[in-house]
Amino acid sequence: MNGLHLTADLYDCGNSALLLDQPALAALCEAEVARVGLSAVSHCWHAFPASPAGPGGITGVVLLAESHLAIHTWPERAGVTLDVYVCNFGADNSLRAERLLQALLAAFAPRRQQCQRLQRGTQPEPGGA
Amino acid sequence: MNGLHLTADLYDCGNSALLLDQPALAALCEAEVARVGLSAVSHCWHAFPASPAGPGGITGVVLLAESHLAIHTWPERAGVTLDVYVCNFGADNSLRAERLLQALLAAFAPRRQQCQRLQRGTQPEPGGA
């Protein structure tokens, strides 16, 4: 169950058209998942309707054999939140996770970003919480 | 874009049958999402085949208007990893996220757990990373 979970919250994305384009987002994610050597097993996407604040964002997940990739876009702020979570069942997938995140950062081209890194499933001893 | 992301990695779950039952997992998630006042907009699930290590796990996501709930089960270890991520667009959903996670913890009944808590989207100043 141990694995690496990377989060990235992106602001002022240069490629703002991508934040509104569900087919392009889905194609980008599927292509980059495959390119780094991870395995997609399912996916789901949802496009939010426009509101007085602006066009609606897109939210989606690619389920991986290794865990998941999640994306939520915020077009009114040219923002995106990303999660790349991979378990290390059978192999250490940490480098693949890093490469996937870097590829997505390059595609969105944010001017600012906030990244966090979690180690998951590190087996606390009985009695730990 | 600001929000709360809760992760929980569960071990030795007492309710081990649930880790193999995709319809029951999906129903649990949908019911608890609605009960705490969050809004499901889509979902996807995948059941892994059995292997020599034991029965296959289940992986799934409920996309929310507020972000997402993700679950991956590890039956061979009676383990589960959970993500509850909510943004605070329009309202502070932190308490709903906490209630959802607590409901799922109660359903899986782990003997041990490792929980982490991330604040997301906290708007770094220009130049921050």
**Using one digit for the tens of pLDDT, what is the confidence trace for B65-120?**
999 999 999 999 999 999 999 999 889 999 999 999 999 999 999 999 999 999 99
Hey, are the CB atoms on A60 and B63 less than 8 Å from each other?
Answer: yes
Return the structure tokens found at A92: 């250490």
Catalytic positions of A are 67, 72, 87
For residue B84, tell me if it sits in a domain: yes
Task: Give a yes or no: residue A128 inside a domain.
Answer: no
* Structural domain range at position A28: 3-120
Q: What is the pLDDT of residues B14-45, one digit of tens each?
A: 999 999 999 999 999 999 999 999 999 999 99
Is residue B113, in this structure, part of any structural domain at all?
yes
Q: Do B115 and A121 touch (CB under 8 A)?
A: no
pTM of the model: 0.94
- Tell me the residues of chain A between 33 and 52 that have a Cβ less than 8 Å away from chain B: 41-46, 48
Whether A10 maps to a domain, the answer reads yes
Average pLDDT, chain A: 94
User: At A74, which CATH number?
Assistant: 3.60.90.10
Residue B20 phi/psi, 5-degree rounding, is -115, 0
For residue A76, count other CB atoms closer than 10 A to its CB: 16
Q: Which of B1, B111, B123 sits opposite A81 (nearest CB)?
A: B1
A67 close to B (CB below 8 A): yes
What positions of B carry a catalytic annotation? 67, 72, 87
In a domain, B78, yes or no: yes
Nearest to A120 among B9, B11, B60 (CB): B9
pLDDT per residue as tens digits for the range A74-126: 999 999 999 999 999 889 999 999 999 999 999 999 999 999 999 999 876 66
The reply to whether A44 falls in a domain is yes
> Which tokens sit at B22?
């995709």
**A77 contacts in B (CB within 8 Å)?**
1
CB contact under 8 A, B79 and A121: yes
Beta-sheet pairing, B67-74 with B58-64:
antiparallel
Q: Give the pLDDT confidence score for residue B129 in this predicted structure.
A: 45
By 3-state DSSP, what share of chain A in percent is helix, strand and coil, each rounded to 5? 30, 45, 25
CA distances from B73 to A90, A97, B19 (A): 16, 20, 6
The tally of domains found in chain B comes to 1
Please indicate, yes or no, if residue A112 is contained in any of the structural domains. yes
Q: Which amino acid is at B115?
A: C
Whether the pLDDT of residue B127 is over 60: the answer is no
User: Rounded to whole angstroms, how far apart are CA atoms B16 and A85?
Assistant: 23
Within a domain: residue B128? no
